[in-house]
Amino acid sequence: MRFSVGIPAFNQGNYLEATILSLLKQTRPPDEIVISDHYSTDNTPEIIAKYAGQVRGLTPPPGVGISGQWNFTFSNLSGDWVTLLSSDDLARPNFCEVLLRGAERREDAVLVRAAWENIDANGNILTREYLLSAPKVEMPPQNLLSQKHGPKASFAAFAVKRETLEASGGYPSGMESFGDWPLFAQLAPFGSFIYESEIVSGYRVGHDGNKFRKRLGMWIRDEMRMFNDVFPLAATRAGMAGAEERAWVSQASCDNFLRYLSAASEEFAAQERAEIVPLFAEWSEQTGNQKLLAEFAGGGRIRQPVSLSGRAKKILRPLVQRTVSLLHGKRN
């Protein structure tokens, strides 16, 4: 079984070499490494040239957004199973081995997901992240429903079956910032999701500023695309045609609206909100939350309702993560 790794790159040359080297030091080397450089103006082209004998560098069509670059990168991978790794992330030595092991577990597998570490700009481990609620095998439509509030996998720790990716239509077009979530949701109706609980990568966080402030507009627009386009199509493909079977889409959109507005009320002072309100306007109308948006505009603090079980999970999650990490450490 061939395994390909694609690296969409743009102006992250200070991390790219470490990413490449991490893939060249695998217990089971990838069959190909393809780097799609979106016209970087830093030293990214020089680094790609330095490893020309071990990686293949390509340039996507000019002006493509995230969806265009992702689809371009995927289309140039020839493996039976493929993955993308950000040009600032790191593959642990077992990255390919573990993801391929998951791919071989079931014939109907279309996605393999694994555990990962969040790392800082210097590569120091911040947290270890295990998908505590993910079963070893998750079938449709549950693998779709479990993603209604966000992706149940990391962009730094996944692999997909290439022929299924092509059958699903590729990475959903039109997305401005979201990467993994629409891809995973679109794949869900086609087969099983496999979870491997070993840590396989380092996902770099916190080194590029406050993403919530910088990308809020893009994130809100992408959220609406998820609930207006991606989820309805995936639900249809999963055989969820009736109104009752699809009520979760509208409810999840409302839940996510409240989560975003609550976060924005914490992040933005009252005097800043006049510029933020228009970003939420269309989504508030779709979810019937115009009054709540008006309260936000007036400087109110918006609290997202959280159940008692939800509060308990939030408190206990770090402890459970540490316990799971210790158990894996002893096992390995």
Percent above pLDDT 70 for the chain? 92
Residue with tokens 């995230």: 66
Tokens 């039976």: give the residue.
80
DSSP 8-state symbol, 242 = S
> What is the full DSSP assignment across 54-109?
TSEEE-PPTT--HHHHHHHHHHT--SSEEEE--TT-EE-TTHHHHHHHHHTT-TTE
pLDDT tens profile 69-124: 889 999 999 999 999 999 999 999 999 999 999 999 999 999 999 999 999 999 99
The average confidence (pLDDT) of the chain is: 91
Residue 193 in 3-state DSSP? strand
Q: According to the model, what pLDDT value does residue 311 have? A: 47
- DSSP assignment of 16-53 equals HHHHHHHHHT-SS--SEEEEEE---SSSHHHHHHHTTT
Q: What is the pLDDT of residue 4?
A: 98
Average pLDDT over residues 316-329: 58
- Across 198-209, b (16+ Cβ under 10 Å) vs e yields bbbbbbbeeeee
pLDDT of residue 54: 97
Helix (H, G, I), strand (E, B) or coil at 232: helix
Query: Phi, psi (5° rounding) for residue 218?
Result: -65, -40
pLDDT score for 312 = 44
Of 142, 154, 170, the closest CA to residue 235 belongs to: 142
- 197: its two tokens: 């609980």
Average pLDDT for 204-220: 88
Beta strands in 222-287 (DSSP E): none
Please report the pLDDT score of residue 308 as a whole number.
46
Say how far apart CA 48 and CA 208 lie, in whole Å: 22
Output the pLDDT for position 197: 94
Residue 174 three-state SS: coil
Q: What's the rounded Cα separation, in Å, for the pair 215 and 198?
A: 31
Confidence at residue 170, expressed as pLDDT on a 0 to 100 scale: 85
Closest CA to 190 of 168, 211, 205, 209: 168
pLDDT of residue 307: 53
Proportion of the chain in helix, strand, coil states, percent, rounded to 5 = 45, 15, 35
Please tell me the distance from the alpha carbon of residue 311 to that of residue 65, in angstroms, as a whole number.
Answer: 38
Q: Which overall architecture, per CATH, does domain 3-204 show?
A: Alpha-Beta Complex (3.90)
| Cα distance between residue 47 and residue 55, in whole Å | 10
Residue 10 has pLDDT above 80, yes or no: yes
Cβ neighbours, 10 Å, residue 9: 27
Q: How many CB atoms lie within 10 A of CB 65?
A: 14
Please tell me what DSSP assigns to residue 226.
Answer: I
Arithmetic mean of pLDDT, 53-61: 94
Q: Convert the pLDDT of each residue in 300-320 to its tens digit.
A: 998 876 554 454 455 555 655
Select from 80, 78, 32 the least CA-distant residue to 57.
Answer: 32
CA nearest to 269, candidates 305, 246, 244, 299:
299
- The mean per-residue pLDDT over the stretch 22-29 comes to 98
CB 172 within 8 Å of CB 74: no
Tokens of 216: 């809020």
What average pLDDT score do residues 203-210 get? 83
* Mean pLDDT, range 13-38, rounded to an integer: 97
> Is 200 in a helix, a strand, or coil?
strand
Task: Name which residue leads in pLDDT, 223 or 304.
Answer: 223
Per-residue model confidence as pLDDT tens digits over 119-163: 999 999 999 999 988 999 999 999 999 999 999 999 999 999 999
Q: What residue spans define the domains of the chain?
A: 3-204, 211-297
Number of other CB atoms surrounding residue 223 within 10 Å: 20
**Would you say how long the chain is, in residues?**
332
CA distance 35 to 185: 25
> What per-residue confidence (pLDDT) applies to 206?
79
